[in-house]
Amino acid sequence: MTTIKRALISVSDKTGVLELAQSLHQLGVEILSTGGTAKLFRDNSIPVKEVSDFTGFPEMLDGRVKTLHPKVHGGLLGRRDLPEHVAAMQQYGIETIDLLVVNLYPFEATVAKADCTLEDAIENIDIGGPAMVRSAAKNWNDVAVLTDAAQYAAVISELKANQGSVSKATRFQLSVAAFNRIAQYDAAISNYLSAIHFADTESTGKPVIQQFPGQMNSNFVKVQDLRYGENSHQQAAFYRDLYPAPGSLATAQQLQGKELSYNNIADADAAWEAVKSFTGPACVIVKHANPCGVALGANGLEAYSKALKTDPTSAFGGIIAFNSTLDGAAAEAVSKQFVEVLIAPDFTAEALAIFAAKANVRVLKIALPPGGQHAWDQGRNAVDSKRVGSGILLQSADNHDLQLADIKVVTKLQPTPAQLQDLLFAWNVAKYVKSNAIVFCGNGMTLGVGAGQMSRVDSTKIAAIKAQNAGLSLQGSVVASDAFFPFRDGVDVLADAGASCVIHPGGSMRDEEVIAAADERGLAMVVTGIRHFRH
């Protein structure tokens, strides 16, 4: 146990620091501080010694240099168990510092402001703070270091319970947290500065930020270890962003059920991202990362009933997601099938009671962000990533939402208003299906889904077979293709299946041939000018 006799407190964010200092004073701890923090303590009658008095050296260079001094770093770094360290400290009059409380200049908050200049960013790069934190964290055997106001209460409780001492286990945990904070801080600085296009910044006077910096530093926090990865011989863990967006999977609250697996999490994300892209009540059923049933309805029960009809065989053991509160009627219907994970923004008491009898079902609540349905955008990833050998691919996320005004009818036959709505629905579903993707839809529900084939024609045939197996007619259906038709054969196959309308990006060298085929087969065709490959 380390007895705390002297503490150095220097914080940018003053949250909770008065209560901390008052508790330390009551415990007989001498307090050192700097600038504004020291003034705050004096104004509140808390005895404090200025660091400049402690070191015998004044603050200088507009506060840039105040704690970069051997008496500060010697007091933090000196090992109490090494006689030569103790002797050197005595020789040079270096007193031990047992507790360091530091939070850093608000660099991240500063650069997040729209009017932030490069000078503002540079002046909010902390130097002395991180240096002290590193010194204290390195010498964790003798020094406790606090870098977050959320740590204050627990440490004060431990000090009071242990006659002013902090345990070795706590000091180590605080050291790890300190190094993590420094890593996050340095990563934010590196990402920001290496994304600046300096020539343009210099000419405009404002930072010109590139989307992808010269060096990408990522920080994630482990949520949990997983039993294994995609297969039992693989190890796995789930990590979240430092600041997860509201409405994203990483914010899910598991209300019941077995521990989530690697595949559960991956499939749950696919289902959740798809279902929250719809504005009315919707249900998405996912199996092996692909939607196997998607539908809109007047309520959750109707949406689920329609989605299940698409492919009840594949839905067995799937992931089911709703974008509205799950009530008892929908829960009763869902409970009749084997489901791995059930997701919704909320659940009624009746719905939770129904699933309480199925203890293994993983029930996830992902709260809708403030702002209603339009706030779903907050939970979207801005950037997607994919690991490759010794590297990573980054891209802006496919967050394009198609509107009626964006599409162009290219055939003689015009789609009806009802068909246009189904085309938009089908197009949205195709966005979440692995390429090559073909999706037959009608009346706000999927009728057949063909996914992940090397040939678009094969995806079309599979989607038709799925519909046939489910006893669903494709007569008069609409079809979405995530990319253009390179030849007319794809159009012929979907026409043979009974489709009446098709939506696709267009842009093929043979667009005229494909459009002519649609006219010949009596199909209405619209193009979007944008594709939705999903690998």
* Catalytic residue set: 138, 288
Q: How many DSSP H helices and E strands does the chain contain?
A: 20, 23
Burial of 214 (0-12, 13-18, 19+ CB in 10 A): exposed
What's the one-letter identity of residue 469? N
Cα–Cα distance, 138 to 484 (Å, whole number) = 58
Residue type, 174: L
What does the block give as tokens for 491? 């159009």
Which residues make beta-bridge pairs with 387?
A: 392
CA atoms within 13 A on the CB side of 87: 3
Beta bridge partners of 502: 479, 525
Please name the residues in contact with 224: beta carbons below 8 A apart, sequence gap of 6 or more: 237, 238, 259, 260
Tell me whether strands 438-442 and 477-481 are parallel, antiparallel or unpaired. antiparallel
C-alpha–C-alpha distance, residues 375 and 246, integer Å:
9
Count of residues for the chain? 535
Query: Is residue 406 within 8 Å of 488, Cβ to Cβ?
Result: no
Q: What pairs with residue 320 in β-bridges?
A: 285, 342
What letters, b where the CB count within 10 A reaches 16 and e where it falls short, cover 155-191? bbebbeeeebebeeebbeebbebbbebbebbebbbeb
For residue 216, give the 3-state DSSP assignment. Answer: coil
Tell me the CA distances in angstroms from 30 to 6, 87, 352, one per residue in order: 5, 22, 54
DSSP letters of 394-430?
Answer: EEE-------GGG-EE-SSSPPPHHHHHHHHHHHHHH
How many Å apart are CA 412 and CA 520, to the nearest integer? 10
Report d(CA 19, CA 25) in Å as an integer: 10
How many whole angstroms separate alpha carbon 404 and alpha carbon 424?
A: 8
Residues 6+ apart with CB under 8 A from 47: 25, 31, 41
Question: Which uninterrupted H or E stretch holds 353?
Answer: helix 349-356
Task: For residue 89, give the nearest of 71, 106, 102 by alpha carbon.
Answer: 71
